[in-house]
Chain A
Amino acid sequence: MDIHIEYYLIVSTVMLVAGIYGFLTRKNILAMLISVELILNATDINFAVFNRYLFPSHLEGHFFALFGIAIAAAETAVAIAIMINIYRNVSSIETKDIEEMKH
């Protein structure tokens, strides 16, 4: 039985929207980081799926997905380092406590 391309796309869309929603509503920046990971993974799924279904003879989409995973890992490392530093400075990683950069 074939799995249609739409099923994959529905999953990735749900992940994207969930990521965006989480990014906008979470109070904790760690949770916001997880939301960003969701968005990234949604795009990775799209890369792989479009490559697999539309251009089976090529591999660029797969490679792009791998790049995306690597970058997401690096980004997570940097983000967590930043968070640790924020926690050391303001003893909190709640978004309401870190709004110093304003007018």
Chain B
Amino acid sequence: MEYTIFIVLLPMLMFLFLGLVGHKLKPIVAGTLGCCSLAIVTILSYITAWEYFTAPRNARGVYETITVFNVQWLHFTDTLHIDLGVLLDPISVMMLIVISTVSLMVHIYSLGYMHGEKGFQRYYAFLSLFTMSMLGLVVATNIFQMYLFWELVGVSSYLLIGFYYPRPAAVSASKKAFIVTRFADLGFLIGILIFGYYEGSYTFATVGASTGFASANIVGVAKVMLPLALGLMFIGGAGKSAMFPLHIWLPDAMEGPTPVSALIHAATMVVAGVYLVARMFPLFIVYAPDVLHIVAYVGVFTAFFAAAIACAQSDIKRVLAFSTISQIAFMMVAVGVCTQAGYGTDAFNEEGGLGYMASMFHLFTHAMFKACLFLCAGAIIHTVGSNEMKFMGGLRKYMPITHIAFLVCCLAISGIPPFSGFFSKDEILTACFKFNPVIGWMMAAIAGMTAFYMFRLYYGIFWGKEAEHDHTPHEAPAAMIIPLIFLSAVTLVAGFIPFGHFISADGHEFTSHLEMSTAITSVAIAVFSIALATLFYAKEKQPIPDALGRKLKNLHTAAYHRFYIDEVYQFVTHKIIFGCIATPIAWFDHNVVDGFFNFLAWGTHETSFSIRGFQSGRVQQYTYVFLVGVLIIVVASLL
């Protein structure tokens, strides 16, 4: 399977090519080249997945972890070295499919969406860069390679959010995204360093059934430091995956082009944090189950918090952004509620380890339907020319295909069978109920909120009062419609994939059963929420939400302003950090440090000015001084 290296190399070459000579090409040529290279990457990924999952399982009943390609890059000790390579195991292969599929769809979609934009070639170059980095991240053979590509996806995200660089909002959003995630990555880096020190290796090796680290030397102080390192790594993951309180960059990242939001800020990059936790899962479950539960609690709060905000936003991309945060939090919760129950036996996959599979399953289905939702939103924004819901309404007559695709994905995210989201969300809820019924009920309620705000969005766009339009809205061009149809088709069928056959906590094959009670509960809650949303928002006039909005004015305003978290950050950074720490340090620098050197320069200047008279130009005077000097030296040496 040596060809898998081209999955990473091809987008990189395309990035270099488009980045260096792209501006000399016609836009359509650059776009077609980008799409073609991505199509090849997608085909290669599918072939890889096919070969990987059809290959026989090994003696222990798991899919063999294959290091297809590996070069040593930095050598520290015999065990501690940094490599670059390609590693295939069930989750990385699954991610290859997700990334290449969504990326291909976004590439095709952008041909239509970005048509005629200035910097079209640059856009495709950045898309290639992002795809390369994301693919490199998932196939990393060691944690440090993961970190390198982790930073690269951060850079490409920065570049793409700031694609419309003449707009100040885009520039500040890109900076915000970069700084917040970079700040979180500091935790990741420290975690890696602590980990390397105590573990003595960065390389993912085969442990038990899943991919993890050879953990023979975890004794003494390492028993404390390893959970700490894993916790710090989770901070990095929380930054990328927009967990509270590091979520503030994701809504602003919507300033980028909508296809970029679909690719980076919905389907792939933001789930990198979940992927990181899943990648480290064998260590988490054995050495740090408590840290795993912290992940779960952070996830529960984030899921609720983001869902609450999503109910009050009016910008459709912002609603989707908060919905993304909430859904990623679902995945985090799923992997966080894993326990050691049944560890080491066949029951582990059904008991403690169910959440792992549920999380990966939801990652897969969510990537498809959320990318589709964003692409639908892009089609709507493309024709309406605004992100605000008040300029929409009644669009179902004008955009039938987008309408159907959006509805399918809304049903999927709400958890209505037989759409894909139902199955994955059901697994998550089952895992939560197994861990703790309280968390289970909370997640079920949040799932209900998801259904509510998604259908609020749906009715706000496609039903309700028709807004005034400058020109009649129309269906998007074919390049934009095809990805919508494809992704919603995937959403229709993805739920029936027997995910447990491919990915499970210990790698063994298992068949997940639909837990009837959980399924009925969640469907009932979802249907109730949708009915509520229908009652509230489907009509042209919306008396109930208006009345509620007046009654709970404070709550609504707070949610609309995202519970003022950005303002808190603004206060902390500007008033406390800049005001109380940075300003005194700046004063010290300007006055003491600079002052010392200014004094040196001033003193030298003044001294030389006062003695410049010595240089009179009269040779005899110099000679005289010289003579006196010689005499003094002679007399002194005689004495």
- Give the interface of A toward B (CB within 8 A): 20, 23-25, 32, 95, 99-103
A103 and B617 CA atoms in complex are apart in Å by: 8
Tell me if A24 and B617 are in contact (CB < 8 A).
no
A23: which of B613, B617, B623 is its contact (CB, 8 Å)? B623
Q: A20-B627, A23-B623, A24-B627 are in contact. Are A95 and B613 (CB under 8 A)?
A: no
The answer to whether the Cβ of B620 comes within 8 Å of any Cβ in the partner chain is: yes
CA distance A99 to B615 in the complex (A): 10
- Across chains A and B, the number of contacting residue pairs, with CB separation under 8 Å, is 27
A25 to B618, CA, bound (A): 12
User: Which residue of chain B is the closest to A26 with respect to CB atoms?
Assistant: B620
**Hey, what's the 0/1 contact readout for B597-629 against A, CB within 8 Å counting as 1?**
000000000000000110111111001100100
Other-chain residue from A23, A100, A101, A103 in contact with B620 (beta carbon distance below 8 A):
A23
Most chain A CB within a 10 A radius of its CB, from B615, B616, B620, B627: B620
Report yes or no: B623 in contact with A102, Cβ–Cβ below 8 A: no
Distance from A101 Cβ to chain B, minimum over Cβ atoms (Å):
5
- In the complex, A101 Cα to B621 Cα: how many Å? 13
B613 A24 Cβ-Cβ under 8 A: no
B620 touches A24 (CB 8 A): yes
Offer 11 A-B interface pairs, CB within 8 angstroms, sorted by A: A24-B623, A24-B627, A32-B619, A32-B620, A99-B616, A100-B617, A101-B617, A102-B615, A102-B616, A103-B612, A103-B615
With a cutoff of 8 Å between Cβ atoms, the chain B residues found around residue A100 in the complex are: 617
Please state if B617 and A102 are interface contacts (CB–CB under 8 Å). Answer: yes
- Say yes or no: A95-B618 contact (C-beta < 8 A), given A103-B612, A103-B613: yes
The 7 tightest CB contacts between A and B, nearest first, are: A102-B617, A99-B617, A103-B612, A103-B615, A101-B617, A99-B618, A102-B615
Classify the interface of chain B: helix, strand, loop or mixed.
helix
In the bound complex, CA of A101 to CA of B616 (Å) = 8
Q: Which residue of B lies closest to A96 (CB)?
A: B618
Chain B 189-219: CB-based contact to A (< 8 A → 1; otherwise 0)? 0000000000000000000000000000000
Residues of A with C-beta under 8 A to B624: 24
- Bound-state CA distance A25–B620 (Å) is 8
**Which residues of chain A are near B619, meaning CB under 8 Å?**
32, 95
Smallest CB gap from B615: residue in A: A103
Quote the shortest CB–CB distance from A9 to chain B (angstroms). 17
Which of B612, B620, B627 has a CB less than 8 Å from the CB of A95?
Answer: B620
Question: What chain B residues lie within 8 Å of A32 (beta carbons)?
Answer: 619-620
B356 shortest CB reach to chain A, Å: 82
* Minimal beta-carbon separation of B213 from chain A (angstroms): 73
How far is A95 from B612 in the complex, measured between Cα atoms in Å? 20
> How far is it, in angstroms, between the C-alpha of A20 and the C-alpha of B620 when the chains are bound?
10
CB closest residue in chain B, given A102? B617
Residues of A within 8 Å of B623, CB to CB, are: 23-24
- Measured in the bound complex, the distance between the Cα atoms of B627 and A34 in whole Å is 18
Distance between Cα atoms of A101 and B622 in the complex (Å): 12
- Binary interface encoding of chain B residues 431-465 relative to chain A, with 1 for a CB under 8 A from any of its CBs, else 0: 00000000000000000000000000000000000
Compute how far the CA of A24 lies from the CA of B618 in the bound complex, rounded to whole angstroms.
Answer: 11
Known interface pairs A102-B618, A103-B612; 8 further A-B residue pairs with C-beta atoms within 8 A, sorted by A's residue number: A24-B623, A24-B624, A32-B619, A95-B619, A100-B617, A102-B615, A102-B616, A103-B617
Q: Closest CB-CB distance, A31 to chain B, in whole Å?
A: 11
Of all chain A residues, the one with the shortest Cβ separation from B618 is A99
Bound CA–CA A24/B624 (angstroms): 7
Q: How far is the CA of A63 from the CA of B430 in the complex (A)?
A: 112
Q: Which residues of chain A are near B620, meaning CB under 8 Å?
A: 23-25, 32, 95
Most chain A CB within 10 A, of B616, B617, B624, is at B617
Nearest Cβ on chain A to B618's Cβ, whole angstroms: 5
Task: Report the nearest A residue to B609, measured CB to CB.
Answer: A103
A76 to B482, CA, bound (A): 99
Residues of A within 8 A of B617 (CB): 99-103
Q: Bound state CA distance, A32 and B618, in angstroms?
A: 13
Docked pose: A95 CA to B616 CA in angstroms: 12
Instruction: Point out the residues of chain A lying under 8 angstroms from B615, CB to CB.
Output: 102-103
Residue of B nearest to A25 (CB): B620
Q: Return chain B residues, CB-CB under 8 Å to A23.
A: 620, 623
B134 vs chain A, min Cβ distance (A) = 68
Across-interface contacts of A102 in B (CB, < 8 A):
615-618
Task: Chain B residues near A95: list those with CB within 8 A.
Answer: 618-620
Residue of B nearest to A20 (CB): B627
- Alpha-carbon distance between A32 and B623 when the two chains are bound, in angstroms: 12
- B residues in contact with A25, CB < 8 Å: 620
Closest Cβ of chain B to A97, distance in Å, is 11
Complex-state Cα separation, A91 to B623, whole angstroms? 24
B616 to chain A, nearest CB (A): 5
In whole angstroms, what is the CA distance A25 to B613 when docked? 21
Nearest A residue to B608 by beta-carbon distance? A103
How distant is A65 from chain B, measured CB to nearest CB, in Å?
23
> What is the minimal beta-carbon distance from A5 to any residue of chain B, in angstroms?
22
Specify the chain A residue showing the minimal Cβ separation from B614.
A103
Could you tell me the distance between the alpha carbons of A75 and B617 in the complex, rounded to whole angstroms? 22
B 337-378 binary contact with A (CB < 8 Å = 1; else 0): 000000000000000000000000000000000000000000
Q: CB-nearest residue of chain A relative to B624?
A: A24
Shortest Cβ gap from B620 to chain A (Å): 6
- C-alpha spacing A95/B619, complex, angstroms: 8
Question: What residues on A are CB-neighbors of B627 within 8 Å?
Answer: 20, 24
Nearest-Cβ distance from residue A32 to partner chain B, whole angstroms: 8
